[in-house]
Amino acid sequence: MNKPRVLIVDDNAINVELAAFVLDAGGFEVDSAADAGRALACIEVATPDVILMDIQMPGVDGLALTRRLKSDPSTRRIVVVAFTAYAMKGDEARMRAAGCDGYLAKPIDVTRFAAQVRACLDDARRGDADPVGAP
């Protein structure tokens, strides 16, 4: 069975390094991009099964990039999971309205993170709308 491919889009190198390490150990192929332009270039080279999308990034933010991906027929089926430290009331609804298929909070729980990402991917593929991965 092929490993699911995940693209981590986050401008914080420490967050990317930790998430990538945990996901690689959890059976994922991992790519990363520090901004929207690099993320689009990565997607052209190898389409991910799931994108972990930081919301606050310089330049094009994660919600704008998500809207772009979800409006393009060639990328709309990629599962996009908001990957953010936002935890305020209403933020998850705003992320879902932008097209995010799920939500995972930072900081991550390294013991559960790979399973949470896999659950987000599985739920989105099944069409489940229940939020997953919230702390």
Tens of pLDDT, residues 70-124: 999 999 999 999 998 866 777 778 888 899 998 898 899 999 999 999 999 998 8
pTM above 0.85, yes or no: yes
* Whether pLDDT at 32 is above 50: yes
Under 8 Å between Cβ of 28 and 11: no
What whole-number distance in Å separates Cα of residue 101 and Cα of residue 37? 21
- Sequence spans of domains, the chain: 5-126
Region 57-71 average pLDDT: 93
C-alpha dihedral (8, 23, 28, 114), degrees to nearest 10? -110
The tokens describing 30, both together, are: 């991992």
Mean pLDDT of the chain: 89
As a CATH number, domain 5-126 is: 3.40.50.2300
Q: What percent of the chain has pLDDT over 70?
A: 91
